[in-house]
Amino acid sequence: MKSYFIMTKIIWCYFFISICISCKGSSNKDIITEDIKTVTIYADTVKPKLRVTQHELVAFAKTLIGIPYKYASIDPNIGFDCSGFITYVFNHFKIEVPRSSVGFTNIGKEIKIEDAKEGDLILFTGTDANIRIVGHMGIVTDNIDTLKFIHSTSGKKYGVTISEFSDRYKLRFVKVVRIFKD
């Protein structure tokens, strides 16, 4: 019986070593093509680790539609608040971003609302539009006929959803920031 356990350990060690040897020398650069846009570091707080397109970021965010709202959470198993959702999406691609919505106030490159495009971040005040501090945010999904964005909301739709840039949001609008290169 003792020899069985020793043999099992040897097999597992051999398996582990062969995996390590086969992975040696490969990198993300080998896997990802050179023509993909990379995340631009517009601020010291945004640190990309992998290459990703705006479309890939938004496509992943859309897979989270329907996850409920949960204050102060970045866990998809229990829900997200708005910045928790953004953090989760960006961290999925190994991009470090601020954890709170107010932390996005001074990162990225400010863009005119009419120039917003897929993957840009849209920043709003909290529920009180008179307090002009960022308190809510989303990711622009498109800006063809009307700007749309994906976010985790505690409002009527309650959770991760896509919303139009309606009058309700226009009152609370602060700015759009671009994290990706043009």
Catalytic residues, by residue number, are 82, 136, 151
- SS3 assignment for the chain: CHHHHHHHHHHHHHHHHHHHHHHCCCCHHHHCCCCCCCECCCCCCCECCCCCCHHHHHHHHHCCCCCCECCCCEECCCEECHHHHHHHHHHHCCCECCCCHHHHCCCCEEECHHHCCCCCEEEEECCCCCCCCEEEEEEEEEECCCEEEEEEECCCCCEEEEEECCHHHHHHEEEEEECECC
CB 107 within 8 A of CB 43: yes
